[in-house]
Amino acid sequence: MAKGKLSPFWHAVAAYLQAWTRTPTLAGAVRMAAGWSSSATARPAVQSSVTGSPNPLQKYFEAHVEGRGIWKWNHYFEAYHRHLNKFVGREVHILEIGVYSGGSLEMWKQYFGPQCKIYGVDIEPACQAYADESVRIFIGDQADRDFWKRVKQEVPFLDIVIDDGGHKPHQQIVSLEEMLPHLRPGGVYICEDVQGSSQRFADYVSGLVHSLNATSISKRVGAELASAATPFQAAVHSIHSYPFLTVIEMTGAPVGEFVAPKHGTQWQPFL
């Protein structure tokens, strides 16, 4: 190992200590949110929906008053459409953990179109009933790593994972650790119901956010800043939090480094 370089073990120790010292900052943020008050009384600059089009998932859900049951928080539909509409009409491979009464699998099929391939995972054998020519069901426990190994042997890659299963933090963490690295570039991982006792999953995700901000800055010609991407940064594009919902987007192509070039000829002398 080159002098001055930390081994992966000491990197992990340093990252852990850094995260641990952030506890007071986290408490400060919780205090800020608890005492929230806004000074922006003006009307919003824009009123339109995030994607600029009506939300077909919301429409489908509202119109679905009979048949196979779907159980979603209403406000999830905005986030789904924001992050998933790029896959509509494509040959997209989606896996939902938590089949329950089969209605959400039907909704995904309708939303993504005839080319999509759907996988459902549930611990209840009765859910096998929802398998058909475009839907494959795996029966197993999402907290069991051996179960995921078997799934990955049968499903070579995925574009979307939606975790709407048992909603316990240990289940959500095992599923994410096993299945996030199984997403193709550009893929999207969604974990539902991270509120309440599942805040521990949200805390885990804040460790991922921490890792997304890791940096090793060097200066190059023309004062350009560069920071080599870690393997995690090369693969993970962004992490989004909504009430009760976490969304992780993968990069479309691996990122080698982040650069901050300076453009322009007129500069203040103070930096």
* 124 is a contact residue toward ligand SAM (CB under 6 A): yes
Binding mask of the shown chain, residues 52 to 71, with x at each position contacting ligand SAM by CB under 6 A: -----------------xxx
Q: How far is the CB of 136 from ligand SAM (least distance, A)?
A: 15
Q: How far is the CB of 108 from ligand SAM (least distance, A)?
A: 10
Indicate the length of the chain as a whole number. Answer: 271
Residue in 92, 103, 158, 246 binding ligand SAM, rule: CB under 6 A: 103
Residue in 128, 141, 170, 208 binding ligand SAM, rule: CB under 6 A: 141
> Phi and psi (nearest 5°) for 141?
-100, 125
Give residue 45's Cα distance to chain centre: 28
Angstrom distance (rounded) from CA 271 to CA 265: 14
Angstrom distance (rounded) from CA 161 to CA 95: 5
Residues 6+ apart with CB under 8 A from 192: 72, 73, 76, 162, 163, 164, 167, 244, 245
Pick the piece of the chain touching ligand SAM (CB under 6 A) from 18-26, 41-49, 140-148, 260-268: 140-148
Task: Take residue 80 and report the two structure tokens written for it.
Answer: 């789904």
Pick the piece of the chain touching ligand SAM (CB under 6 A) from 52-60, 79-87, 95-103, 230-238: 95-103
* 98 is a contact residue toward ligand SAM (CB under 6 A): yes
**Residue 83: strand, helix, or coil:** helix
Residue in 92, 99, 176, 236 binding ligand SAM, rule: CB under 6 A: 99
Q: How far is the CB of 184 from ligand SAM (least distance, A)?
A: 22
* 171 is a contact residue toward ligand SAM (CB under 6 A): yes
Neighbours of 63 (CB within 10 A): 7
* 172 is a contact residue toward ligand SAM (CB under 6 A): no
What H or E segment, with its residue span, contains residue 34? helix 23-34
Q: Which residues bind ligand SAM (CB under 6 A)?
A: 69-72, 96-100, 103-104, 121-124, 141-143, 164-166, 171
